[in-house]
Amino acid sequence: MAEVLRELLEQGEDKPAARQIAEKAIAAAKGGDMRAIEFIFDRIDGKPKQSLKHEGDEDNPVWVTVKGPPDG
């Protein structure tokens, strides 16, 4: 599926569909759409890393499992 999507995104009448989509995302971000802003920065800089602070002692460590946001 990814291969087909990439192929289709390279197509377009006057410019590639991927460029058209990127331009719309940028326009939405400039208009204040927070989802578009997050989308763009996640693609440019990657998702921010979550920092964790260890609060257990050496004999009783605290283990924390962190899941990322749901895909969507």
> What pLDDT digit, counting tens, does each position of 9-49 carry?
898 888 999 999 999 999 999 999 999 999 999 999 888 77
Strand partners, 57: 60
Q: Please state whether the predicted TM-score (pTM) of the whole model is above 0.75.
A: no
Per-domain residue ranges of the chain: 1-72
> Which amino acid belongs to residue 28?
A
Q: How many CB atoms lie within 10 A of CB 22?
A: 14
